[in-house]
C-alpha cells in the first residue's frame, strides 16, 4: 500500500492506495497516524478513493485512532470511500462514526 501524508492548512491529509488489510498496510497507516498524533496534530483526513478493501484490522485501526483524535479535540474524516468500503464499515456498525466527504478540500475545510 502507498501511504502519502501531507499537511493541508488545518489538517493532515493521508492519501492511501491499495487494500487496507492486515500486514504492511495496516502497520504503515498505524505508524503514520501515531506520528501525526505525537506531533500534536489531531485533525486527520484520509482519502480512501483508491482503497478497494478494508478488513477488520483496518477498521479497528481507524476507529481506535478516531477515538484517540476525538479525545484530543480532533477527528478523522474520510474522503470517497469505495462502495465496498462503505458496505464493510456499515456491516460492522461503524460507518456512522465517521464524517464522509466527496473531496479532500471539503473534508479539510470542515475542520474550520
Partner 1 sequence: MVDKSVAGSGSGFSELLNLSMSATPESVTAITDAISAILVKLEIPESKRFEIDLAVQEALANAVVHGCDGDPSKTIRCRLNKDQEGHIVITVTDPGPGFKPEALKDPHQPENLYGDHGRGVYLIRQLMDEVQFDRGGSEIKMWKY
Cβ atoms of 100 and 81 within 8 Å: the answer is yes
Q: Which is nearer to partner 1, 80 or 104 (CB)?
A: 80
Residue closer to partner 1, measured from CB, 92 or 106 = 92
Residues found near partner 1 in the complex (CB under 8 A): 21-24, 52-53, 55-57, 59-61, 63-64, 66-67, 84, 88, 91-94, 97
Among 14, 23, 3, 4, smallest CA distance to 69 is for 14
Q: What angle do CA 23, 28, 31 make, to 5 degrees?
A: 125
CB count within 10 Å of CB 106 equals 13
Question: Cβ of residue 7: shortest distance to partner 1, in angstroms?
Answer: 26
Q: Least distance in Å: CB of 54 to partner 1?
A: 9
Which residues, 6 or more positions from 9, have their beta carbon under 8 angstroms from its beta carbon? 108
**Least Å from the CB of residue 9 to partner 1:** 28
Q: Which is nearer to partner 1, 63 or 105 (CB)?
A: 63
- Closest approach, Cβ 4 to partner 1, in A, equals 21
Amino acid at each position: 500500500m502507498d501511504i502519502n501524508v501531507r499537511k493541508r492548512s488545518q489538517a493532515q491529509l493521508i492519501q492511501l492506495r491499495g487494500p487496507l488489510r492486515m500486514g504492511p498496510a495496516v502497520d504503515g497507516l498505524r505508524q503514520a497516524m501515531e506520528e501525526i498524533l505525537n506531533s500534536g496534530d489531531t485533525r486527520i483526513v484520509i482519502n480512501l478513493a483508491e482503497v478497494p478493501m478494508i478488513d477488520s484490522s483496518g477498521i479497528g485501526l481507524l476507529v481506535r485512532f478516531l477515538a484517540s483524535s476525538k479525545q484530543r479535540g480532533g477527528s478523522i474524516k474520510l474522503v470517497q470511500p469505495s462502495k465496498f468500503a462503505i458496505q464493510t464499515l456499515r456491516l460492522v456498525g461503524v460507518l456512522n462514526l465517521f464524517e464522509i466527504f466527496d473531496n479532500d478540500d471539503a473534508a479539510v475545510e470542515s475542520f474550520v
